[in-house]
Structure 1
Amino acid sequence: MFFSLFAGVDKAHAEAALNVNADGAILVDGETGKVLYEKNADSVLGIASMTKMMTEYILLDSVEKGKVKWDQEYSVSDLVYKISQNRDLSNVPLRADGKYKVRELYEAMAIYSANAATIAIAEIIGGSETNFVKMMNDKAEELGLKDYKFVNSTGLNNQDYQGEQPQGTGADDENVMSSRAVAKLAFHLINDFPEVLKTASTAKKKFREGTDDEIQMDNWNWMLPSLTYGYEGMDGLKTGTTDFAGYCFTGTASRDGKRFITVVQNAVDGTGNGGYKARFDETRKMMDYAFSNYTNKQLVPKHYQVQGHKTIPVIKGKEDQVKIYTKSAIKMTVQNGEEKNFTPVLVLDKKKVDKDGKLTAPIKKGEKVGYLTIKPKNGEKVSFLTDEGQKKVQVDVIAAQGVEKANWFVLMMQGIGHFFGDVWHGISSTVKGWF
């Protein structure tokens, strides 16, 4: 039996304190995916180069599974060469007869948002960008994303492909996602492949250093600590800008043992004008609020016992009850001072207890008998990006010691005792009825 009792008291405070100037925005805890603030988070909007987070995810997954190797070489296709020569787009120029290793293409994509390098990665993994786009949409479904459509691997306007966009997509098609879906993708990316942050946090790097093709790659995430809008702890993740999507940014920062993820789509300043500064200013608002107001707190300690449920009755055992407690602690990111606003909820496993709530011996020490979760006292709803995140505020309840099954003689005597107890109860009820 499962209760969806995860609610919170803090999101309303965030909504009152923040006024994020963007068409869509969201702030989440980077460890559990607990949503701390949202604005139009389910509106489907343009994402521009934030698209590349999905390409990164599929690449890192392919490398982990041995399907692709970092030192694998790639020969440039006609489309990739053509796109790479367009300096109106973010690119590292690639030679038509050149060979490039997967790692350097990946770094160009993750640091410099290089579009042709991204298409090259799509071709390496999918054979063609058309096949890769199908992989992107399939992976989105697998990750449990909602409100998304991928039509290319880069986030470019399909018109930038000059008629050579992936098959099955139109010249006017765009990649779109909701802020919640973008945050969920980012959450999976940094938790499934935390090594991505090492590359995403690289402020500057030379592509093909020491060769005639050397080019300086400056990270578009200007909130990295050493750059223009430097922010302490910022180490990712991906910017995006097109006329269709506006100024977008998925940021993540870690400080004092806390990590948060933010998304802004079509960010603007106070006068309604978009810009690089606007997307970083709006991100800073959410990050400042998160680091100042939220802390990861232990709400339930290890070996916690619920008042009134410290033991469970046992039948057919050498003991008639067993002590139970939580296997581990429950920790959750909450607004400062709100940790006392939660109450524990014990849920026993119906497959383990009878209709009277009794366990049947034998019982092993450490055997799971149910789980403990928490719920806020005021019942306000809050969400998690994933089921896995939600389960982090749910811990097993186990038997503190073992209970052996009683032998046949003891069971017989217990049966006789129960029989006469029932008889005496019946007689007593009848006698009481006389008076």
Structure 2
Amino acid sequence: MKKISKISLIFTLVVALVTSQFTIASSARAESDRLGIKAEAAILLDAKTGKILYEKNADTVLGVASMSKMMTEYIVLEAIKKGKISWDQKVKINEYVHKLSAAPDLSNVGLTQGEDYTVKELYEAMAIFSGNAATVALAELVAGSEKNFVDLMNKKASELGLKDYKFVNASGLNNKNLMGNHPAGQPDEENVMTARDTATLAFRLINDFPEVLEFSKVPKLKFRDGREYPNFNWMLPGLIFQYEGVDGLKTGSTDFAGYCFTATAERNGQRFISVVMKSPSKNDRFTDTIKILDFAFSNFGKEELLPANYSPKKEGILPVTKGKEKEVKLVTKEAIELVIENGQKEKYKPVVVIDKSKLNSKGELTAPIKKGEKIGYITMKSTDEDYGYLTKEGEKLASVDLVAAEEVEKANWFVLSMRAIGGFFGDVWGSVSSTVKGWF
């Protein structure tokens, strides 16, 4: 009976342990979906630093549909910046682009074969009304063919730090909708990314080319054909889900991708970026986004975590060799301000990183040292678990330089000689003292 009792006890403990692990996992899942988001994947971030504030299945690879056009926008804006093309450059519409613009059930403005349209007109059609044929026309202009452009898209994705993606066309349509002209992949493939990668693309787009918002914020496109085409971003002013501060960025929907939306909004100088992927319905992608942005604006704000001229307790003084002074004080060049959850300021602690290339083998700086010379940097880390940053570059934006508070001139040869002599006799005296102590 005793053996059976022990076995029963062990079994009970194992069951309890396993059950507790499932409970913890369930709690983690519940926490990750604490906003009640219907979308399969979602993410929220501070638009300045890329600090992630919320995520749900952010690394699940899903269809992105027309949100892919953000990559096309990036490459076109980059080409304009480099002078490869210009806003007023004329683009003649070929037969394929004309037919695609007239295809039923696709988002398009009509483009007449043989007629010239400016790059700006085509860009507006793409950015405001998600014009698919206009997107293809721009892709062909930049790269010679949409196939070449898709190569550029995948290359640029790697350069921007995206991890899990595949672009097979410029527009985000399913290849089967491209009238037999799919540029890459299988005949029924679509572009895919994760919510994290989509947010990274949006983050780079609005930070590298902020002018993109001048297009994405337009509620209705007035085209040369005299018609008005409404923006599919229904959270813009005057539209059905209008939301204070929203001025971008891109919607998308296909049968494969479901309903997607990358949004950005700014209030009182604070901008957020959100992504929802595979929402169940057209309206859900906006109600999901409203929940996320409400959460952002209600629960997060910019806080000064460290003042300018702050000197760390441990690493605030560094020894200096060959200088008139034997040490130098280090201070922050400017204040550290971060967007954090309200009431969480005390949970952030400074982390000091010293540039080791400036230190000798003894951990000393070598004079001369200029006032304001960068010696390292300070960043802030939460003592709680957090989601981190989209990119290493973003994390650097959340740090400040640690600089020398004053100048340390190099000591002259006489001072250095006296120090060397003093050091020599100090070593001798130390040796003699140790020997004498040994006698006793």
**What TM-score do the two structures reach when normalised by structure 2?**
0.90
Q: Does 1:26 align with 2:43?
A: yes
Deviations 1:246-288 (A, max 9, x none): 0100000001221111111111xxxxxx222100000111100
- Decide which structure has greater helix share: 2
Which among 385, 392, 409 is matched to residue 414 of structure 2?
409
**Map of 1:37 onto structure 2:** 54
The residue type equivalent to 1:246 in the other structure is G
Which among 260, 263, 282 is matched to residue 251 of structure 1?
263
Paired residue secondary structure (2:401)? strand
**Map of 2:9 onto structure 1:** none
Structure 1 residue ranges, 4+ long, deviating more than 4 angstroms after superposition: 11-14
- How many angstroms apart in 1 are the aligned matches of 2:388 and 2:317? 32
- How many angstroms apart in 2 are the aligned matches of 1:197 and 1:332? 23
Deviations 1:95-127 (A, max 9, x none): 112111110110011110111111111111111
**1:189 deviation in Å?**
0.5
The residue type equivalent to 2:344 in the other structure is E
**1:434 deviation in Å?**
4.4
Deviations 1:10-60 (A, max 9, x none): x99973632211111111111111111111111110011001101111111
**Map of 2:21 onto structure 1:** none
- How many angstroms apart in 2 are the aligned matches of 1:107 and 1:79? 20
Deviations 1:341-365 (A, max 9, x none): 1121222222222333322222222
Deviations 1:395-416 (A, max 9, x none): 2211111111112111111111
The residue type equivalent to 2:325 in the other structure is E
Q: Does 1:201 align with 2:206?
A: no
Which among 400, 410, 414 is matched to residue 395 of structure 1?
400
Q: Does 1:53 align with 2:70?
A: yes
Paired residue secondary structure (2:358)? coil
**1:161 deviation in Å?**
1.2
Paired residue secondary structure (1:314)? strand
**Map of 1:132 onto structure 2:** 149
The residue type equivalent to 1:96 in the other structure is Q
Compare 425-434 and 405-414 and name the one that shifted more: 425-434
**5 Å matches for 1:8-407?**
15=32, 17-166=34-183, 168-208=184-224, 213-267=225-279, 274-378=280-384, 380-407=385-412
Paired residue secondary structure (1:22)? coil
Paired residue secondary structure (1:351)? helix
**1:163 deviation in Å?**
1.2
- How many angstroms apart in 2 are the aligned matches of 1:116 and 1:235? 24
- How many angstroms apart in 2 are the aligned matches of 1:36 and 1:160? 37
Q: Judge conservation of contact 1:330–1:392 (CA < 8 Å) in 2.
A: no
Distance 1:355 1:35, change over 3 A: same
- How many angstroms apart in 2 are the aligned matches of 1:225 and 1:153? 28
The residue type equivalent to 1:354 in the other structure is N
Distance 1:256 1:424, change over 3 A: same
Distance 1:18 1:432, change over 3 A: farther
Paired residue secondary structure (2:138)? helix
Compare 181-190 and 420-429 and name the one that shifted more: 420-429
- How many angstroms apart in 1 are the aligned matches of 2:292 and 2:110? 36
Root-mean-square deviation over aligned CA pairs? 1.7
- How many angstroms apart in 2 are the aligned matches of 1:19 and 1:430? 76
Q: Judge conservation of contact 1:92–1:215 (CA < 8 Å) in 2.
A: no
State how many pairs are aligned.
Answer: 413
Paired residue secondary structure (1:100)? strand
Distance 1:335 1:362, change over 3 A: same
**1:433 deviation in Å?**
4.0
Q: Judge conservation of contact 1:150–1:176 (CA < 8 Å) in 2.
A: yes
Paired residue secondary structure (2:349)? strand
The residue type equivalent to 1:423 in the other structure is V
- How many angstroms apart in 1 are the aligned matches of 2:36 and 2:427? 67
**1:175 deviation in Å?**
0.6
**What TM-score do the two structures reach when normalised by structure 1?**
0.91
Paired residue secondary structure (1:250)? strand
Compare 295-304 and 63-72 and name the one that shifted more: 295-304
- How many angstroms apart in 2 are the aligned matches of 1:308 and 1:13? 40
Distance 1:372 1:47, change over 3 A: same
Q: Judge conservation of contact 1:14–1:36 (CA < 8 Å) in 2.
A: no
**Map of 1:6 onto structure 2:** none
- How many angstroms apart in 1 are the aligned matches of 2:122 and 2:322? 66
Distance 1:14 1:197, change over 3 A: farther
Q: Judge conservation of contact 1:197–1:235 (CA < 8 Å) in 2.
A: yes
- How many angstroms apart in 2 are the aligned matches of 1:58 and 1:337? 41
**Map of 1:7 onto structure 2:** none
Higher relative contact order (CA 8 A, sep 6+): 1
Q: Judge conservation of contact 2:94–2:114 (CA < 8 Å) in 1.
A: no
The residue type equivalent to 1:172 in the other structure is D
- How many angstroms apart in 2 are the aligned matches of 1:235 and 1:108? 17
Q: Which runs of 5+ in 1 are unaligned?
A: 1-10, 268-273
